[in-house]
Amino acid sequence: MLSSILFPDRPLTVAVLGATGAVGEELVSLLEERNFPVGELRLLASKRSAGSLRVWRDKPIKVEEVNEAAFQGVDLVLASAGGSISRKWKEVILSAGALMIDNSSAFRMSADVPLVVPEVNPEAAANHKGVIANPNCTTILLTLALAPLARRFSMRRVLISTYQSASGAGARAMEELKVLSRDVLEDKKPISEVLPYSLAFNLFLHNSPLASNSYCEEEMKMVNETKKIMGLPDLLVSATCVRVPVLRAHSEAVNIEFDQVFDLEEARHLLKEAPGIEIIEDFESNRFPMPVDVTGRDLVAIGRIRKDISHPNALELWLCGDQIRKGAALNAVQIAELFLTRR
């Protein structure tokens, strides 16, 4: 399917832009863990961390400040330094002939940029013009659950409440949660600098900018990106996004309405058989997915799959997924793997 645009069959030169961030560090370790065919790895970040060393395949690699020359001869750029940095370097990356897989929201809704979750819409990746966007973390986790159900039942409406960890705001926010939690335990007033409020023993509505419809940017990303990935422009989607004091795995309560009555056991079976999903569901002992179950792991855990008692055509489920892995870095590396000759 992707044969005309595969990577050359040789060790590749790969650059990670934002290599010192929470997602960047995970990208670097996933390239090693998944034995991605890397000949040369370039670690790019800002001036702040230029010169620092990272160990990769047992050898030290120096982090470089990003510059034009750093992209020369590169086959693949995995970008995770934020939207403005991705916008700034996109043309340089494309002129160098590299494929850019971008973790920021900069290009996700552009008509000529595929937005890809490999288990959901791998075929979309083939239509790229040099850039492929990695979706928003909560959206990736959500679409893994929606796709197997939407292939069987006509899906009408999806309502989501999220419980998002500190990792979604980057490595500094994770560190801040640890420090401020210690402050609270020591009866000190927690004063946040990275997040707008202290997350220690607290939670708050996602603080991304509000649109005129009173939804925040994160919620509108879920709405728009879900429709694009699923190829369902008329799907009705609404979300409320909340930041919670968890370090790195996101959770979501999801209500899915179909156009017709559905069979609950068939829905459960479809989810159980779907790639990337693990069912954690023990009704007898009341044990369902928790962030700690998925931290550092690849699978999205789903449980408490049940009929909505308020609507005959609706299903309720609960899911947890590691935001840094499947919600970001793993999905990006899996997109790159679609273009490998030998998989």
Q: Which residues have a Cβ under 8 Å from the Cβ of 314 and sit 6 or more positions away?
A: 255, 256, 257, 258, 307, 308
The verdict on 62 binding ligand A2P (CB under 6 A) reads no
Decide if residue 268 touches ligand A2P (CB under 6 A).
no
Please say which residue, 17 or 230, places its beta carbon nearer to ligand A2P.
17
Tokens of 184: 């609270």
Tell me how far, at minimum, the Cβ of 7 lies from ligand A2P, in Å.
24
Contact 319, 289 (CB under 8 A): yes
Q: How far is the CA of 142 from the CAs of 105, 150, 270, in angstroms?
A: 17, 12, 15
Nearest to 44 by CA among 82, 23, 70: 70
Q: Is 92 in the site for ligand A2P (CB under 6 A)?
A: no
- The verdict on 334 binding ligand A2P (CB under 6 A) reads no
The yes or no reply on residue 70 touching ligand A2P (CB under 6 A) is: no
CA dist., res. 312 & res. 322, Å (int): 32
Is 241 considered catalytic here? no
* Active-site residue, selected from the candidate residues 128, 137, 241, 320: 137
Distance CA 210, CA 319 (A): 26
According to CB under 6 A, which one of 13, 14, 15, 24 is a site residue for ligand A2P? 24
Q: How far is the CB of 228 from ligand A2P (least distance, A)?
A: 23
Among 7, 12, 15, 18, binds ligand A2P (CB under 6 A): 18
Tell me, residue by residue from 300 to 329, as one string, x for binding to ligand A2P by CB under 6 A and - for no binding.
------------------------------
Q: Which of 152, 156, 157, 172 binds ligand A2P (CB under 6 A)?
A: 172
User: Applying CB under 6 A, does 171 fall inside the site for ligand A2P?
Assistant: yes
As a whole number of Å, the end-to-end CA separation of the chain is: 13
CB burial string 13-29: b at 16+ within 10 A, e below = bbbbbbbbbbbbbbbbe
Tokens at 207, concatenated:
């603080």
61 binds ligand A2P (CB under 6 A): no
21 binds ligand A2P per the rule CB under 6 A: yes
Where along the sequence are the contacts to ligand A2P (CB under 6 A)? Answer: 18-22, 24, 45-46, 48-49, 66, 81-82, 85, 170-172
